[in-house]
Structure 1
Amino acid sequence: MLGLAATACAQEDVDTLQDRASDSFHEERAVPENRTEMQLSFAPIVREAAPAVVNVYSRRVVAQRSPFAGDPFFERFFGSQPQQRDVGSLGSGVIVDPSGVIVTNNHVVEGAQELRVVLADRREFDAELLLADERTDLAVLQIQADETLPVLSYNEAGDSEVGDLVLAIGNPFGVGQTVTSGIVSALARTEVGISDYSFFIQTDAAVNPGNSGGALVNMNGELIGINTAIFSRSGGSIGIGFAIPAEMVSSVVNAALNGEDLIRPWLGAKLQPVTSELAQSLGLDRPRGAIVADLWPDGAAEEAGLERGDIIVAVDGVEVNNETGIRFRFATHALGDLARVEVLRDGETREFEVESRPAPGNTTAEPRTVGGRNPFQGARIVELSPAFNEANGIDPFMDGVMIVAVGRRSVADYYGFQAGDRIVTIAGIEVDDFADFENAMADQDNAREWPIEIIRRGERHSRVLRL
């Protein structure tokens, strides 16, 4: 009897909890009580935001190979000269400064010889390209209007959360300005591979071709991102769109407005992802952050106090879980700013202020063509540096001299050198820069045998070349 009574009491408790949960559920799903609640709409947000979203038309002339080229008979009558044709593309843009400054995607305007912007009220303007950055897929345009234009303000706080309601405004398929709604599906997407600074906001608001460069807006009417890509096998929206966060957009626009070259800050650290096995060996509760595997001598990270083995877990209070996220956070800083870097060291959390500095060296190194009597004659070489490497997708910590091109029928071509080969040693002399290369060339002057070491696709090769 005692057991039955206890069971009955337990059942009563379960029934009571279920009733309470049911009451709570029904309270949250309330029926609209008045006409005002029934007429809730996104229209006020759209009314404020839409005038700042524009259409961007670009046009370029490309040469088209004649279909009769190579056929002597048809060439007599139709010629073989390349024909020119106009190629146009359509995208969207956002006015971010009342003087007529517009931000869009780089791929919308890339290679354009003519740019035209159409406002929401159908007025048209010729546009000037102020800045184009392939690495972030952003471009900044300028139009000249006789009045102050409507703008969208940035949500630079970066306080968007997964589940927030958002609106995507653009010109999909060229049908005219369109608004779609959805939510923030994910934040800090870094596996997309669209740009070098992938750190995207993912949304399920319908984004289609033509939406590129358009606005992703929150419920405060603020710009939280620039729509840039969709994930789709069919080419149409399947609810997976990506937007470049407003923090990055703002930094690119500021560089354009200040007339500055877009120079990215560089941490000066080589980073390694934290895998599950590594997290377990380090005593972490879960894989997170990125390990500092190496430090550039006298770089920003080393001077701030970071050490090899530190695990970077946050930048400016935002959690980061890989190198791409850390690169993005640093890229949103202006040169000279201080970034707050949080690391785990010996089981303790420490914070450092790291100055935003450019990578050492030049981003556009001038290639040299090797002349004289030697195995490298006819090769074009560059001196590697963190700045040049960063700009060209090479490991920033890789130094030395690299072959970037080989002249046809040159001596270098005869010996099989290829673009991408890194010269390590010449006759036992280590080649770390142009000066080392020239010294080795002078020492080997008129030599018949040339012991050479190169690195090709990560593998070291040693050969003795005979002239």
Structure 2
Amino acid sequence: MTAHFTRISAAVLLAGVAFSVQPAFADTRTVPSNEAQVQLSFAPLVKQTAPAVVNVYAERMVQRRMSPLFSDPFFSRFFGNQMPGRSERQTSLGSGVIVTENGMVITNNHVIAGADDVRVALSDGREFPCKVLLKDDRYDLAVLKIEADEDFPTVPIGNSDTVEVGDLSLAIGNPFAVGQTVTSGIISGRARNAVNDGEFGFFLQTDAAINPGNSGGALLNMNGELVGINTAIFSSGGGSNGVGFAIPANMVKVFLDAAESGETHFQRPYVGATFGPVSSDIAEALGLKAARGAIVSAIRPGSPAEKIGLETGSVITAVNDIPVEHPDALLYRLTVAGIGNTADLTVERNGAVTHVALPLALAPEDPPRDTRVIGGASPFSGVTVENISPRVAEELRLSGISDGVVVSNVEQGTPAARIGFAKGDVIVAVNGEEVDSTQTLEAEADQEPGAWRLTINRGGRMINQIFR
């Protein structure tokens, strides 16, 4: 059976438990040397941290598919309200970690994705409704706010950069909805990428047993600090094989800061360059000592990358003197360095090593997005469109597209929704006329031609359609 990466939330119908954290033990990092040390227990650490680890329940309405067979009145009477095609409520279960006294909870985005209602259950049995403050499927993180006016137990967020391979670790969560469960292991690896299908690729690896339902739970060090959010497992059958992955705590800090600042989209620093991995062949051709780092493959004109003098073929080997293993590691290091700061890049080119300072700023909104909602009787009626800038391209993930007009929302029940417009569609041309701005599209939509010829770029695929 082929092994695969699995996100570890679980679909359940029953309620569960929850937990919390305070700093605990000094960092000793010693191997047991006598019988007394072998008998040491994690129990005091678990007692301090478990109350801040909660169960996260996400409910959503789903539509069951219906076979044409069930349109027969006989089957309708026989199956009643259980007929396929009816709406039903589905509950998924994951875990979360309370990180502030006022009830901020970190969990995985895939635990609460598409949810109509989100609740958390604490270890003492109490349940609270939650509001989703910020979520991002690229990083598979979400920040919830418990809607209650009281102080909650917390787990302090540690520095995941100090974690070393071989360090002891504890994982706390609610696997298989059996209740709060603690497993132990070690940190097995760092800077793991290609773990899931998202854009984020920098994970801690642990052999502490992680299973479905552990998603969003805590990975702790021996100081009782959060060093990771358990996210995925490598498994051939859906259960733990001792290869689990967690999003590092330093990424969690940046994401939490964005939520506390009121951000509605999580945004990373804008570099304006495309990076690729350094293969052994590339390393040999460039005279590099090892096949590590991120090679610059393209640079956007006028971008920060161009302004600091980066060139295609240059290799970034470190950020702030921390080695960069691959392009995902470079993105991680720049993101956790934080908007408004400056990153020192170690660059190798033609056998020479130099350092350049990269200001970390948001992608520019040039041209202005000029958001417009198109009405009237045209095929565009019901779409919200924006001019494409580096900022908009980042928000909507328009890879390789730098100008034009993009659909940022489609109102349900409108002509645009019935035609099939989708968020992220780039409207290229209408009746042979190039659409270069939202103003141009709005003017075109006011026309009354006999037919509409549309050219749309959807994920890099050009679609041509005619509507009458």
- Superposition TM-score tier, normalisation by shorter sequence: 0.7 to 0.9
Deviations 1:198-232 (A, max 9, x none): 21111111000111110001122211100011121
* Map 1:105-120 → 2, pairs under 5 A: 105-120=108-123
Structure number with greater Rg is: 1
TM-score, length basis structure 2: 0.75
Change over 3 Å in CA distance of 1:76–1:364 after alignment to 2:
farther
Deviates more, 1:205-214 or 1:298-307: 298-307
Deviates more, 1:349-358 or 1:391-400: 391-400
The count of aligned residue pairs is 426
Whether the 8 Å CA contact 1:363–1:389 is kept in 2: the answer is no
The AA in structure 2 aligned to 1:284 is L
User: How far has the Cα of 1:298 moved from its partner?
Assistant: 2.8
Distance 1:66 1:460 in 2: 33
| Match for residue 140 of structure 1 among 139, 143, 153 | 143
TM-score, length basis structure 1: 0.75
What is aligned with 1:14? none
* Map 1:429-444 → 2, pairs under 5 A: none
Deviations 1:29-73 (A, max 9, x none): 99954x632422222322222222111122223333456643355
Distance 2:96 2:264 in 1: 22
Secondary structure (helix, strand or coil) at the match of 2:258 reads helix
Distance 2:453 2:127 in 1: 65
Whether the 8 Å CA contact 1:185–1:202 is kept in 2: the answer is yes
What is aligned with 1:247? 250
What is aligned with 2:346? 342
Secondary structure (helix, strand or coil) at the match of 1:231 reads strand
Secondary structure (helix, strand or coil) at the match of 1:285 reads coil
Change over 3 Å in CA distance of 1:382–1:294 after alignment to 2:
same
Change over 3 Å in CA distance of 1:453–1:154 after alignment to 2:
closer
Specify which structure has the bigger relative contact order, considering alpha-carbon pairs within 8 angstroms and separated by 6 or more residues: 2
Deviations 1:115-145 (A, max 9, x none): 2222223332222222222221111112255
| Pair 1:271 & 2:275 matched | yes
The AA in structure 2 aligned to 1:43 is A
Whether the 8 Å CA contact 2:184–2:209 is kept in 1: the answer is yes
The alignment's C-alpha RMSD in Å is 4.3
The AA in structure 1 aligned to 2:391 is A
Deviates more, 1:417-426 or 1:120-129: 417-426
Deviations 1:169-207 (A, max 9, x none): 111111111111111111111111342222111111100
What is aligned with 2:361? 357
| Pair 1:150 & 2:160 matched | no
| Pair 1:224 & 2:227 matched | yes
Whether the 8 Å CA contact 2:102–2:149 is kept in 1: the answer is no
| Match for residue 96 of structure 1 among 99, 103, 106 | 99
What is aligned with 2:303? 299
The AA in structure 2 aligned to 1:47 is K
Change over 3 Å in CA distance of 1:451–1:348 after alignment to 2:
farther
Whether the 8 Å CA contact 2:296–2:314 is kept in 1: the answer is yes
Distance 2:153 2:320 in 1: 31
Gaps (5+ residues) in structure 2?
1-29
Distance 2:361 2:236 in 1: 40
User: How far has the Cα of 1:332 moved from its partner?
Assistant: 2.2
The AA in structure 1 aligned to 2:63 is A
Change over 3 Å in CA distance of 1:211–1:447 after alignment to 2:
closer
Secondary structure (helix, strand or coil) at the match of 1:158 reads helix
Deviates more, 1:384-393 or 1:333-342: 384-393
| Match for residue 210 of structure 2 among 207, 210, 220 | 207
Distance 2:461 2:121 in 1: 53
The AA in structure 1 aligned to 2:98 is I
What is aligned with 1:308? 312
Gaps (5+ residues) in structure 1?
1-28
Distance 2:172 2:453 in 1: 62
Distance 1:119 1:240 in 2: 28
Secondary structure (helix, strand or coil) at the match of 2:235 reads coil
Secondary structure (helix, strand or coil) at the match of 1:270 reads strand
Distance 1:257 1:236 in 2: 35
Distance 1:146 1:279 in 2: 57
Distance 1:420 1:98 in 2: 38
